[in-house]
Amino acid sequence: MNDPDLSVLAMAAFDRMVAATPGFRARAGQHAMAQRIASSLRDVSLGDQDHPQSAVTVIQAGTGVGKSAAYLSTTVALALARKTRVVVSTATVALQEQLMTKDLPALAAVIDTPFVYALAKGRGRYVCKLKLERLVGHVGADAAELFEGDDEANTPQASSTFQPTRGVVWQDPTERRVALYETLASALVAGKWDGDRDSLAEQPEARDWSTVAAERHTCTARHCPRFSSCSYYQARMQLAQAQVIVANHDLVLASLGMKALPDLDNCLVVFDEGHHLPAVALDQFSSAMDLTGLRWLDKLPKILIEVADKMGVVLAQDVTTLAQQLKTALLDAGRLALELVRGLSTGYDTVYRFKDGVVPEAMLEPFKLIHGHAAALSDALEALGAELKLRAKEDPAQAANCSVQYARLGQMAPKLNSVVATSAQWLSSDEPPLAKWLKSDTGSGLVSISAHACPIVPGDLLRRHLWRQVRGAVVTSASLTTCGSFDFFLGETGLAGLPQVSTLAVESPFDYRTQGQLVVADTAADPKQVDLYTTQMVAALLRDLREVPHGALVLFTSRVQMQAAVSALDASLQEVVLVQGQMARGRLLGIHQARVEAGFASVIFGLQSFGEGLDLPGTLCETVFIAKLPFSPPSDPVEEARAEWLKRAGRDPFNELVVPATGIKLLQWTGRAIRSETDQARVICYDKRLLNTAYGRRMLQGLPPYAVSRRASGTVLVV
């Protein structure tokens, strides 16, 4: 479709939306962003095309630009004109809530054509009514099977703080869980609950919820007798009616090719908070399996045989022998893994990564057996599941029983699939090599060993699985450039060199030179002298905290570092400081705001997650203290493996990966300071490498143009 009026239509929608915004001010960057989206996406080919035209526009928009108004107004107007849809993908719940409760209602109020918008959630956010009924006895479940497949159901760690009846503390885990499920079932029957976990007044413990959550592996879909009233599929029907769907990156990548969301070649897509895409891609295509918690393998053949007997099906494989062989191979692998770990460390809490992704032959042998046995069991499970689905389809009278039996099989599927996937990745000899490692820990009170594998180049994954499908997309964030360039982000996301990709950086409307300061406070110790540096940094930080008049945020690079600062607080500062993890995030921020608004000083201590997406305007955050440049921990096995691969190829991983990745984090962290056009704030960084090293100065080039000064021995020098 080639209609020059489409971009005009999109810009008209933009103009109406921003003009209706309370306190509207014309922002050149916002207008430029909207114009780029309108012109880039108006001509993309949607649907089945022989030679489709694609466009991906990558836009960095500084804080305060108003990204959501720019991309929503233009993409929605284009989509409505072309009778297609928009998928907006985010990385955080906070942005999803903003889009659903503020931005989309504002657009709907001013746009000419009415549209429906909806929030897409993963299947696991909804209850499976059939499972719930079975657990409370409505389908005649055997009590002995109540929590089958849940190895941890009766362990001490399974205790929950969720109380279905206020004031009642359940000592017995099974009794407590039964009471919870009865409460949920009653709420459903009474119409007081829609089956969405997020709409519960109190959130159940994750382990309790997982037993009744809807899952792909346990769902017979339209063959289930509860399909017509299924909470998940009712939500899917609402999505089918929506022209705008808000989702998250995990769901978008996990749903590729599964029809849970619109086909990406037949809609427009916006990836806000797009700098998260590489990490999400690695997570989606990684795998892990437990080498020690194997009780599920004792249950698996029993369930397969019982289900087959109840349905009159003859299993083609000897599943009992296969399960025993798989367990033996896993135990052998676990024993070898424990020997390797013990040879590396005196303790059991450690990670053992295999150099260049090469696993010793002695370790590979049990993994070959693991993969063969697990694949055979998986085939048996899938064949039996397919037979149950077929019978439910052909004989509706059997549908309820088939669905219950299918759910029993499905409880086993995730662990079995993890074994199949992880063992396959461990046997892989791909180039670049996968990161492969063992992890040992004693968090449960016992030694547990797990095997992990993960690709090391996210761009390859995204190019192969995502960008080949996308026809028209916007990728945006306040932090896509690093060290003054898009190159790192384009490489990490697989967009580098693609002809359909364009980039644009629009400046924040804030005047950083007059509104803010960046002070680099020297310490005598080099940051690489970890203990000495931490001691000196904490001493300087505590002196500065005594001068905080209103709100401030301190960002640490590790929990150990943060704890050192907490331990050094005297009584007066303890009254002022709020520490991430001491309470729920919302409550902590609420207390902070109340203190500041009452005229008291309040300081938040936080880690990486507080360095992004935290909006504390005005006096709520007049100073951001950065304890150290936010380099990733050197022990991350995926980053270690990637650095190793680059070195082998004669490349420099520090300058190619570490510096630009740290530059993006630093841009996010410093972005907590100036949040509005009237803010006055400063950033104090205690890491002198920001000014003293070439890589530090590279990072500095990518930051907003603060007035920069150095503080050494109490003297402030303008840089």
Beta-ladder partners of 450: 290, 439
Burial of 108 (0-12, 13-18, 19+ CB in 10 A): middle
pLDDT at 661 over 80: yes
First-last CA distance in the chain: 54
* pLDDT tens column, 471-491: 999 999 999 999 989 999 999
pLDDT at residue 348 in the model? 75
Coil, strand or helix at 679: coil
Q: How confident is the model at residue 177 (pLDDT cuts 50, 70, 90)?
A: confident
**For 203, which DSSP code?**
P
Q: How confident is the model at residue 156 (pLDDT cuts 50, 70, 90)?
A: very low
Rounded CA-CA distance 410/299 in Å is 13
- Return the minimum-mean-pLDDT range out of 8-12, 142-146, 398-402, 582-586: 142-146
| Mean predicted lDDT score pLDDT of the chain | 90
pLDDT at residue 150 in the model? 53
Please compute the mean of the pLDDT values over residues 162-185 and round it to a whole number.
Answer: 66
Kindly report the CATH number that applies to the domain delimited by 512-718.
3.40.50.300
244-248 and 86-90 as β-strands: parallel, antiparallel, unpaired? parallel
pLDDT at residue 346 in the model? 66
Beta-ladder partners of 474: 57, 270
* pLDDT tens column, 103-139: 999 999 999 999 999 999 999 999 999 889 888 874 4
Q: How confident is the model at residue 159 (pLDDT cuts 50, 70, 90)?
A: very low
pLDDT at residue 160 in the model? 33
User: In 109-204, at which residue ranges do the beta strands (DSSP E only) sit?
Assistant: 117-119
Question: Structural domain boundaries of the chain?
Answer: 5-116+242-282+458-506, 136-214, 287-454, 512-718
Q: How confident is the model at residue 345 (pLDDT cuts 50, 70, 90)?
A: low
CATH topology match: 5-116+242-282+458-506 vs 512-718:
yes
* pLDDT tens column, 428-461: 998 999 999 999 988 777 889 999 999 999 999 9
pLDDT at residue 715 in the model? 62
Output 313-320 pairs: Cβ under 8 A, ≥24 positions apart: 313/384, 313/387, 315/380, 315/384, 316/380, 316/383, 317/376, 317/377, 317/379, 317/380, 319/377, 319/380
Closest Cα partner for 175 from 153, 142, 195? 153
Question: What fold does the segment set 5-116+242-282+458-506 form as a domain?
Answer: Rossmann fold (3.40.50)
* pLDDT tens column, 592-603: 999 999 999 999
- Return the minimum-mean-pLDDT range out of 10-14, 23-27, 121-125, 519-523: 23-27
Neighbours of 6 (CB within 10 A): 20
**Structure-token pair, residue 576:** 């002022």
pLDDT at 145 over 60: no
**715, 522 in Cβ contact below 8 A?**
no
* pLDDT tens column, 367-379: 999 999 999 999 9
Q: Which residue has the higher pLDDT, 14 or 410?
A: 14
Which residues contact residue 119 at a Cβ distance below 8 angstroms, ignoring those fewer than 6 apart?
96, 100, 245, 246, 247
**439, 449 in Cβ contact below 8 A?**
yes
pLDDT at residue 718 in the model? 58
**333, 363 in Cβ contact below 8 A?**
yes
Alpha carbon 62 to chain centroid, angstroms: 22
* pLDDT tens column, 53-70: 999 999 999 999 999 999
Supply angle C-alpha 305, 403, 153, rounded to 5: 70
